[in-house]
Amino acid sequence: MNAHACHDHATMKAAVLLGCTALVLTVTGPAAQAAAPARDLGRQTLAAGDGWASDAGGTTGGSAATAEHVYTVTTWAQFKAALQDGGSAPKIIKVKGMIEAVSEGCEAFVAGGYDLQQYLKDYDPAVWGNDKLASGPQEDARVASAANQDGVIKAAVPSNTTIVGVGRNSGILGGSLQIKAVSNVILRNLTIEAPLDCFPMWDPTDDTGTGAWNSEYDAVVVYGTDHVWIDHNTLTDGRYPDSERPSYFGKIFQQHDGLTDIVRGSNYVTMSWNSFKDHDKNMLIGNSDSTASTDAGKLKVTMHHNKFDGILQRSPRVRFGQVDVYNNSYVVTEEQKSDYYVFGVGISSQLYASDNAISLPAGASVGKVLKKWKESPLTAVNNYVNGQLTDLIAVHNAEIPAETLQSGAGWTPTLRTKVDSPRAVPYIVNRGAGAGKVC
């Protein structure tokens, strides 16, 4: 079932068809007499040709689950129990409503006498300096407290699993989905609020010796895993935006890490029709320059028809992978224009960015759309900035000559179901991306 035209059937001049993610309906049971209805998201699988996750056998998640392995959950405890039940047998987990991973609050995790005010006194740069890492009773207590939080908010997703939100407003608040060393996982129609690290670490030596607050916990981690389809989800900082975090020692008290990281030899991933909102460090594809032994030849990821609204950086930042980024919409805010970048070009990356639409505020540098981290040629064609066709590489090289980028990723994507005009992308993606908008 490839239903590319079911987001409101809106028209735009020459009848622009809004794109519903290409999908197929998996039929199970004897003689297929028990075929699921078209609206049963749990039984839907990724269509052939829809990005890297459709390659090498495709991605079906838990679509073949028997009745005893279909769960509807309304609490974090139920959700984690459903994940564990039945091992890697195909399973469908339906999340009903917004479920809270940390309903008790940060105080429930405090151990060893941790006290933020005492922590601030002990490691104030005026007292501790900036030439050594934090150590001592309060740092030990912070580590113990963080371990307590870690054990609660992380949820391990097994192979052959589909997790879907029920209706228009279902998902996870403050949990971290750990898709680690498994295969064949689908996440759809979920609103996911990024975890809030209750116990960030102060690193006095970070940020060129001026110190920084570092946090743990991504909303979604894909680690050493193959065949993942992440579709029609909304990922955001939600109730706890960075703009409302306090500052200590002149640095924001950073309690968020990434929204979605794809790392450590993960492969065959498609991210489609998601909405990423109001976040700083959004997405890593490859998380270290020193992981060639696990990442080279892998990290094949497709990103299409996603919306990035108020995202400061890493949409994505790429190392090693063949990454196809097309028909995405990017909106940079006025507050972000000095420090933003969209595409991070890292070691041995093969980024192919085409047919995207980027909206920048007045005075923002177009050259900063691309950020060079290491020497790696990329392809950037038919991208539009503020409605104008823009050669992103040429503009970057003209504005930032000290970080010249080379053209030519060395490959051409073929796993695409439909490429929309980049001029229509903001309209199409705004109407179709995110939770609650899936066919």
Q: Which residues are catalytic?
A: 314
R_g of the chain computed on alpha carbons: 22
Degrees to nearest 5, angle at CA 308 with 342 and 274: 130
Torsion angle of alpha carbons 247, 248, 252, 256, nearest 10°? Answer: -110
Q: How far apart are CA 57 and CA 79, in angstroms?
A: 28
Q: How far apart are CA 438 and CA 426, in angstroms?
A: 17
- Regarding beta strands 383-385 and 307-313, do their DSSP bridges make them parallel or antiparallel, or are they unpaired? unpaired
Contact residues for 338 (Cβ-Cβ < 8 A; gap 6+)? none
Which amino acid is located at 423 in the chain?
Answer: R
Q: What are the φ/ψ torsions at residue 9 (nearest 5 degrees)?
A: 50, 35
Burial class (CB in 10 A: 0-12, 13-18, 19+), 71: buried
Nearest to 207 by CA among 162, 250, 163: 250
- Are the C-beta atoms of residues 53 and 227 closer than 8 Å to each other? yes
Token pair 């997405």 is at which residue? 283
Residue 130 CB: number of other CB atoms within 10 A?
15
- Are the C-beta atoms of residues 348 and 411 closer than 8 Å to each other? no
Which amino acid is located at 4 in the chain?
Answer: H
Which DSSP letter does residue 401 get? G
